[in-house]
């Protein structure tokens, strides 16, 4: 018997339940990736993530070749391509990881019916892209948790399945044609400081993280300049690393750092279970607050200044420039720039979420759209009216100012925390830094506007 394993955002050989199931049941397996036309049409194929995808596919192919196999790559209509490959390979089973977006649900349904019409069965595997299957941890009164803390309590009590070893051999039948693998070099418009992708590099990053950074994670994860988080989000995004394996290995490392890190992985699961239950939350408010977001020329100019890292608030601008340069932003930066856009400037969270998805190498629907809404107060935050003051945040999370000096070179000559408030400089001193803009908004005016709009004077 022959099986097809359809890879999506699970581009790895270690801990891959669909591949393991296919190998257990079949003599030959076709490892397939389809560049789905529908994903491109939805505008989701941003250059930074395409570069990561190219790296991951090349690495997956090379890992398969080391085991006697190869990766088959196709592009076009996903259902047609899977059926065509299953037909040529005379496969009677297709294995796929479960996923949460509306697109993924539709894809699964269409595939199931198209394959069954050909006498081929679709097997969908849980806990491949998340630690626990969405919907497997629910409160008594609802189909999902809307608040993280009780979710996390239940999540932590659940057993996490054991990770699987990578296969030793993969036999791919002859005669199944592949398109050439995509290459990062063919892409334009990439962020210059983009990380490399692929399982091999990801596993090295993971090992280094478990030996080093994780121990200090609980104390230092919010330190903007210290950059003391794992930076494993791109590897998790396309599944070069398994979240299940991460939980096991972090727990084995032990200590408060590992505990705090596992908690963040639970946040990832949390947003995935929200999106699985409420797919419309990718585009519409999860929880309506009757916002009448600012529109028009002034709001557009504010959003443009925010995107360009020229708001006049150095820590906001530093984070926005990091995003453009690296295709990645520190979590504390994401929180404060999102609060600044949606609350201080009172611009629709979708404007910010779209910009993030254009650049983030780890950008995904569940984490991005739901974190944006968490900050905007239209999602699952239990304190939806809280506004982060960028200057207070800067003093707290970049006390020495090194993060701002790294990303805002116009201000690099300002020592210590004075870099956070260039508007406080005496006029003559300020003139030396006139390449850097004045604040585009007065913080207390922004706060009043937001409170009035939300009906909380």
In the complex, least distance from residue 376 CB atom to ligand FAD, rounded to whole angstroms? 9
Q: Find the angle CA(331)-CA(229)-CA(257) to the nearest 5 degrees.
A: 115
As given in the structure block, the two tokens for residue 246 are: 């991460």
How far is 359 from 235, CA to CA, in rounded Å?
A: 16
- Which one, 345 or 360, has the nearer CB to ligand FAD? 360
Distances (CA, A) of 12 to 53, 63, 395: 12, 9, 41
- CA 118 to CA 91: how far, in whole Å? 10
CA distance 246 to 232: 10
Residues in the chain: 457
CB of 375: closest distance to ligand FAD in angstroms? Answer: 5
Cα separation of 265 and 369, whole Å? 17
SS3 48: helix
C-beta of 120 vs 274, nearer to ligand FAD: 274
Q: Which is nearer to ligand FAD, 31 or 333 (CB)?
A: 333
- Shortest distance, position 78 Cβ to ligand FAD, whole Å: 22
Q: What share of the chain is helix, strand, coil (3-state, %, to 5)?
A: 55, 5, 40
Q: How far is the CB of 271 from ligand FAD (least distance, A)?
A: 5
Q: Give 95 or 334: the residue with its C-beta nearer to ligand FAD.
A: 334
> What tokens does 142 get?
């609802």
- Whether 231 and 205 have beta carbons less than 8 Å apart is answered as yes
Q: Which residues contact 66 (CB under 8 A, 6 or more apart)?
A: none
Place of tokens 């806990």: 127
Which CB atom, from 2 or from 342, has the smaller least distance to ligand FAD?
342
Q: Which is nearer to ligand FAD, 178 or 264 (CB)?
A: 264
306 vs 372 by CB, closer to ligand FAD: 372
Residue ranges in contact with ligand FAD by CB under 6 A: 221, 229-233, 236-237, 261, 264-265, 267-268, 271, 331, 334-335, 338, 356, 360, 362-364, 367-368, 371-372, 375
């Amino acid at each position: 018997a022959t099986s097809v394993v359809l890879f999506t955002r699970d581009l790895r050989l270690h801990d891959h339940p669909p591949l393991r199931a296919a190998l257990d049941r079949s003599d030959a397996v076709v490892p397939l990736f389809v560049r789905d036309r529908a994903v491109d049409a939805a505008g989701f194929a941003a250059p930074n993530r395409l570069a990561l995808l190219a790296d991951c596919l090349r690495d997956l192919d090379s890992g398969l070749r080391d085991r006697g196999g190869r990766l088959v790559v196709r592009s076009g209509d996903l259902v047609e391509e899977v059926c065509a490959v299953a037909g040529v390979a005379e496969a009677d089973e297709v294995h796929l990881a479960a996923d949460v977006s509306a697109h993924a649900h539709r894809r699964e349904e269409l595939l199931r019916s198209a394959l069954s019409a050909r006498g081929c069965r679709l097997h969908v595997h849980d806990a491949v892209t998340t630690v626990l299957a969405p919907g497997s941890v629910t409160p008594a009164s609802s189909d999902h948790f809307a608040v993280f803390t009780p979710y996390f309590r239940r999540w932590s009590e659940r057993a996490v399945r054991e990770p699987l070893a990578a296969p030793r051999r993969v036999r791919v039948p002859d005669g199944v044609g592949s398109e050439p693998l995509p290459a990062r070099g063919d892409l334009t418009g990439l962020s210059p400081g983009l990380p490399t992708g692929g399982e091999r590099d990801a596993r090295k990053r993971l090992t280094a993280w478990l030996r080093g950074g994780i121990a200090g994670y609980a104390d230092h994860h919010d330190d903007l300049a210290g950059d003391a988080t794992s930076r494993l989000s791109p590897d998790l995004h396309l599944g070069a690393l398994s979240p299940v394996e991460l939980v096991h290995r972090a727990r084995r490392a032990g200590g408060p750092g590992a505990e705090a890190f596992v908690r963040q992985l639970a946040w990832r699961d949390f947003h995935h279970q929200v999106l699985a239950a409420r797919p419309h939350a990718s585009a519409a408010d999860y929880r309506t607050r009757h916002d009448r977001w600012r529109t028009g020329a002034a709001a557009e100019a504010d959003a443009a200044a925010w995107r360009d890292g020229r708001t006049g608030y150095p820590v906001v601008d530093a984070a926005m420039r990091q995003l453009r340069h690296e295709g990645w932003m520190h979590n504390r930066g994401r929180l404060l720039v999102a609060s600044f856009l949606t609350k201080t400037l009172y611009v629709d969270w979708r404007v910010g979420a779209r910009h993030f998805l254009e650049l983030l190498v780890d950008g995904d629907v569940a984490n991005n759209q739901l974190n944006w809404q968490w900050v905007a107060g239209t999602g699952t935050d239990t304190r939806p009216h809280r506004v982060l003051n960028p200057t207070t945040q800067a003093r707290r999370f970049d006390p020495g100012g090194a993060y701002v000096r790294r990303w805002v070179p116009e201000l690099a000559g300002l020592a210590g925390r004075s870099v956070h408030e260039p508007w406080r400089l005496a006029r003559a001193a300020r003139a030396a830094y006139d390449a850097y803009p004045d604040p585009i908004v007065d913080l207390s005016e922004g706060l009043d506007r937001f409170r009035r709009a939300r009906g909380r004077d």
